[in-house]
Amino acid sequence: MNELMSFWAQWLRPSAGLPTVQWSLLLAVAAVAGYVVQRKTGLPKVVGYTLVGTVVGLLGFSGVVWPLQGIGLFLLELGISLVLFEAGARIPLRWFRHNPMVLVQSLAESAFAYFAVYWALIWLDVPARAAGPLALVAMAASPAVLTRVVNDTRAAGPVTDRAIVLATLSTLYALTLGSAQAELINRPAARFADTIYPVMVVLGVSVIVGGVLALALRMALRFMSPTSENTSILLLALIAAATTVASFMGGSAPLAALLAGMLLKQLNPRPWAWPRQLGTASSLLTMLMFVLVSTVAAQADWSGPVAGVVLALIAVRLVAKALGVAVGNVGSGASWRQALWVSCAMTPMSAIALLIASQFALASASTGQLIARVALPAILLMEVLGAVIATVAIYRAGESSKPWAALTRTGSGGASPSTGDNARES
């Protein structure tokens, strides 16, 4: 891949630079692959995006560096921020007041995942300074993958709603603790106050930026139509600005966007649809995010001893999240069968996990290398495998309006009334 890039660079002089041409062609291939994968197999488009990124990553694509920084880091944070803002805007806090067991369920599955993965890695002789960050990486589910699966399957129902809420809340915990622990990785805290201070800084800055963003959008929605093209542009521009400001001030940009979405939901409780005009821009950023994650993760150092640790992390994480959801399911209003499918839908790992791992890699080169050796392969596997498991869970829960069998017949050339729907983006 590097030799091919060098050959191109000798005669190709694009105005925006060679990396722009590379990424443009890569996204074009990813778009085709995502469409083909969904059309032929019924799996979500994210599987196709990830496979394309994996292939070019294994071939040595040099369009992104690790740990993430500069424009690559900004685009990843912006894509995550858009996804989390939308997810946060769909969470009514009054739901937790009427059904507090959902919050208990969230805390249980996140805590189980963290401690189970941490002790499993310690048992496998992973240094404690790497086991803690890896447990935080494993704690975070992926609302980005889950929402793409939901959109592509046109799913709706209690399992879908609860899985998105639990995945979003686990992201909130992981981003807060991960950003704070990255600040402490090179200076171990001697007192409890030294440990809690970075957490309060990350959370405080994110709350302030998120609050300003939510208030600005609330003021705009007082006289602008939610379906207006200008409102979509305003929303995207403000989220991009908040992403930059939050990171610069020491907060977490995705966390600020998530909190802004949740606050906007409380300030504007009326049903609020994601602006249709923003759909294409959001889809492009989301596709770029998935391709970037898989490209970076595929360039990890793959080896036999590491493979055992990666598989152990994945297996322990799956069991821990299932047990956490089961423990909190008592009195939550969901059946045990629904709890099983909820835990399955929360298995994907993607951009949030990569962002947390990148923060640790930037904070400490030596510890970051230990974390990346395990985290990157795990993220790559669970971006693909997790999307498949989540798709199966949604279909088994009976919440998809697109039967999988109909998709398969359509993809193989058979006539189906839903052919036109399958060709459209959700």
The confidence score (pLDDT) of residue 389 equals 95
The confidence score (pLDDT) of residue 365 equals 85
Residue 11 above 60 pLDDT? no
Residue 272 above 70 pLDDT? no
pLDDT (average), residues 261-287: 75
Q: Are 164 and 90 in contact (CB under 8 A)?
A: yes
pLDDT (average), residues 20-40: 90
What are the residue ranges of helices labelled H in 185-303? 192-223, 229-248, 253-267, 278-298
Distance from chain centroid for Cα 241: 20
Residue 117 above 60 pLDDT? yes
Which residues are CB-contacts of 272 (< 8 A; sequence separation ≥ 6)?
Answer: 89, 226, 264, 265
Both ends of the chain: CA-CA distance in Å? 34
pLDDT (average), residues 412-418: 40
Residue 10 above 60 pLDDT? no
Task: Please state, for a pLDDT cut of 90, what percent of the chain lies above it.
Answer: 49
How far, in Å, CA of 234 to CA of 216, rounded? 10
* pLDDT tens sequence across 87-108: 888 887 777 888 888 898 999 9
CA distances from 47 to 245, 288, 331, 382 (A): 32, 13, 35, 11
Residue 7 above 70 pLDDT? no
Least confident residue range of 49-63, 97-111, 216-230, 284-298:
216-230
pLDDT (average), residues 30-37: 94
* pLDDT tens sequence across 302-340: 777 889 999 999 999 999 999 999 988 887 778 889 999
Q: Are 73 and 288 in contact (CB under 8 A)?
A: no
Could you name the CATH architecture of 70-400? Up-down Bundle (1.20)
173 vs 22, higher pLDDT? 173
Residue with tokens 């908040």: 242
Least confident residue range of 6-10, 61-65, 88-92, 164-168:
6-10
Residue 349 above 80 pLDDT? yes
pLDDT category at 13 given cuts 50, 70, 90 is: low
Q: Are 169 and 109 in contact (CB under 8 A)?
A: no
Phi, psi (rounded to 5 degrees) for 128: -60, -35
Q: Are 404 and 71 in contact (CB under 8 A)?
A: no
The confidence score (pLDDT) of residue 126 equals 93
The confidence score (pLDDT) of residue 133 equals 94
Where do the domains of the chain lie?
70-400
Least confident residue range of 98-102, 138-142, 329-333, 367-371:
329-333
The confidence score (pLDDT) of residue 36 equals 94
- Output the CA torsion 217→219→220→226 (10° steps): 70
The confidence score (pLDDT) of residue 76 equals 92
The confidence score (pLDDT) of residue 9 equals 53
How far, in Å, CA of 13 to CA of 318, rounded? 48
pTM of the model: 0.87
Q: Which two tokens stand for residue 327?
A: 């423990």
The confidence score (pLDDT) of residue 294 equals 92
Least confident residue range of 154-158, 354-358, 391-395, 421-425:
421-425
pLDDT (average), residues 345-368: 91
How far, in Å, CA of 252 to CA of 235, rounded? 18
Which residues are CB-contacts of 392 (< 8 A; sequence separation ≥ 6)?
Answer: 344
Residue 56 above 50 pLDDT? yes
* One-character DSSP codes across 222-253: HHS-TT-HHHHHHHHHHHHHHHHHHHHTTS-H
The confidence score (pLDDT) of residue 122 equals 96
Residue 39 above 60 pLDDT? yes
Picking from 402, 339, 411, the residue whose alpha carbon sits closest to that of residue 155 is 402
How wide is the angle at C-alpha 136 spanned by C-alphas 197 and 289, nearest 5°?
A: 105
Residue 406 above 60 pLDDT? no
